[in-house]
Structure 1
Amino acid sequence: MMMSWGMDEDAAPRKRIKRGTKVAESLAQEIVREIVARKLEPGTVLPSEAEMIEEYGVGRGSLREALRILEVHGLITMKPGRHGGPMLIEVGTRDYGRMSTLFYHLGGVTFGELMDARLVLEPMMARIAAQRNDPSLEKRLADADDPSVLDDERAYFAATHDFHQRVASMSGNPILNLVTLSLEHIFHDQVSGLLFPRERRDEVMAAHQAIARAIAKGRAAEAERLMRQHMQEYADFVRRRHPHLVNEVVDWR
């Protein structure tokens, strides 16, 4: 879908790009504001280079640098072909997590510190989800746990990952959801092989079910306690079985 940014009759005059040493950054910010204001969907192809140069009153070099900034941040991709150009792509918590790994890596953040952060955030998210007191949450959480996956490493990993993702997305606060989900993505993307052994997986499923019930019944303190206990057991398992990992620095992905 190709679109144009021609002004609507009732639209207020658009701000012009600030002049200075950071024209490209200012332009990238203005393009994002336009995308948000128009509620553009992934798959939308932005206006042509000529149209955007005319619209914003900038040079070709500044425009291309601005688009490169958006591409690096995972907001657009360059679609080839006659009707190609900068196309919006879907961004989410995994993209935010991938971007944040650069700062974690530069700051020397370790996997042990990443686990500690999850130990603080995920029990809190379980509490907040329970405080919403929505019975439909139990089914949403229960759907993530299928006992038939216990013997399949990949399926078991996906199921447990999905359960934690669902809890982390239930606070109703987009900032808390974004931060918690991104940490969960980072951890599982980089240590996906650290699973409980088969003989302990029934315990994991039982813990998930108990957390789901507490959330669905609105028992906030219980949901928080159960999630903290569950997360602590996993952290202890990792520290015991893979002690070398605790002090490893998170990689930039």
Structure 2
Amino acid sequence: MVFNRVRQGRISDNIVTQIKDAIFTGIYRPGDKLPSETELKRLFNVSRVPLREALRSLEEMGLIAIKPGVLGGAFVAEMTIKSVSDSLSNMMRLGKISIRDIWQFRLLIEPHICRLAVTECTDWDIQQMEEMISIREKAVKARKIPVVSDIDFHHVITRSTKNPLLILIMDAVGESLLTNFKRLTFSLSDHQSINAFHRKILDCIRRKDVEKVGDLMRSHLTDVKQRLKI
């Protein structure tokens, strides 16, 4: 039997733990429907109130999606970049994570991502980085600069590492930053500085300069932090 009757401890927490274990061990996979509410009540030997509390908690964690209607029910959620970024954005809105917290995280991790990119990137990756820089340089000259263009360059570097965990985390971080960036004011000088750093970082990646590229990324992020008073 997948689930056991709840015998001790906080009932809803016990239910959450058992369902999480069933998802994480692959018994229930993304898209699978969990047993009906009636069946879950029977399996756990609990009433409706703690069961619904547990299901709400699992939904807030992004592990399940509850769909209404005759064909509805609780389904194991498909984990996507959007679901992770939405969680980050919600935590930022609730004040649990600040843009400063995210920037500290970027300062810690992105220099290492750049170093890994030096050893893992292909000619095609470098071509993509060059394209991102060229697009942004032309946009700055035309005074039409989309905020996303800065984040795109960082995304390309991360993807060049071929590390799925880094890609997932940094794409989610980038998506959560977009909303905040749109509220900030970037001067022409800010954009020119960003372009200059991007160009230097790409030059280091081309030269396979592992140490300098990490230092440059840290300097770049520190410069933006100071300019935007993050």
**Shorter-normalised TM-score: what interval?**
0.7 to 0.9
More helix by share: 2
CA shift at 1:224, angstroms?
0.7
Out of 201, 207, 213, the position equivalent to 2:197 is 207
Q: Retained in 2: the 8 A contact 1:23–1:62?
A: yes
Query: What is aligned with 2:85?
Result: 94
Query: What is aligned with 1:123?
Result: 111
Out of 198, 218, 230, the position equivalent to 2:220 is 230
CA shift at 1:35, angstroms?
2.5
Q: Retained in 2: the 8 A contact 1:210–1:226?
A: yes
Moved more, 223-232 or 138-147: 138-147
CA shift at 1:84, angstroms?
0.9
Out of 176, 186, 195, the position equivalent to 1:196 is 186
**Is 1:65 the equivalent of 2:53?**
yes
Q: Any unmatched runs of 5+ in structure 2? A: none
TM-score scaled to structure 1, two decimals?
A: 0.67
Q: Retained in 2: the 8 A contact 1:130–1:218?
A: yes
Separation (CA, whole Å) in 2 of partners of 1:76 and 1:216? 44
**Pair 99,227 (structure 1): closer, same or farther in 2 beyond 3 Å:** same
Separation (CA, whole Å) in 2 of partners of 1:59 and 1:139? 59
- Count the aligned residue pairs: 221
**Pair 137,38 (structure 1): closer, same or farther in 2 beyond 3 Å:** farther
Q: Retained in 1: the 8 A contact 2:41–2:47?
A: yes
TM-score scaled to structure 2, two decimals?
A: 0.73
Query: What is aligned with 1:242?
Result: none
Give 1:1-253 correspondences, 5 Å limit.
Answer: 13-14=1-2, 16=4, 18-36=6-24, 37-38=26-27, 40-41=29-30, 43-87=31-75, 88-92=77-81, 93-98=84-89, 100-101=91-92, 105=95, 111-112=99-100, 114-142=102-130, 144-145=132-133, 146-147=135-136, 149-150=139-140, 151-153=143-145, 156-168=146-158, 170=161, 172=163, 174=165, 183-198=173-188, 200-215=190-205, 218-239=208-229, 246=230
Separation (CA, whole Å) in 2 of partners of 1:27 and 1:216? 52
Report Cα offsets for 1:149-204 as digits up to 9, x if no partner.
44434xx2112122223434547373x66665555454443343335324553553
Q: How many percent identity over aligned positions?
A: 22
Q: Retained in 2: the 8 A contact 1:17–1:23?
A: no
Q: Retained in 1: the 8 A contact 2:129–2:153?
A: yes
**Pair 186,215 (structure 1): closer, same or farther in 2 beyond 3 Å:** same
Query: What is aligned with 1:251?
Result: none
- The one of the two structures with greater contact order (alpha-carbon pairs below 8 A, sep at least 6) is 1
Separation (CA, whole Å) in 1 of partners of 2:208 and 2:2? 47
Aligned Cα root-mean-square deviation (Å): 3.5
CA shift at 1:135, angstroms?
4.1
The alignment partner of 1:77 has SS state of strand
Q: Retained in 2: the 8 A contact 1:24–1:63?
A: yes
The alignment partner of 2:66 has SS state of strand
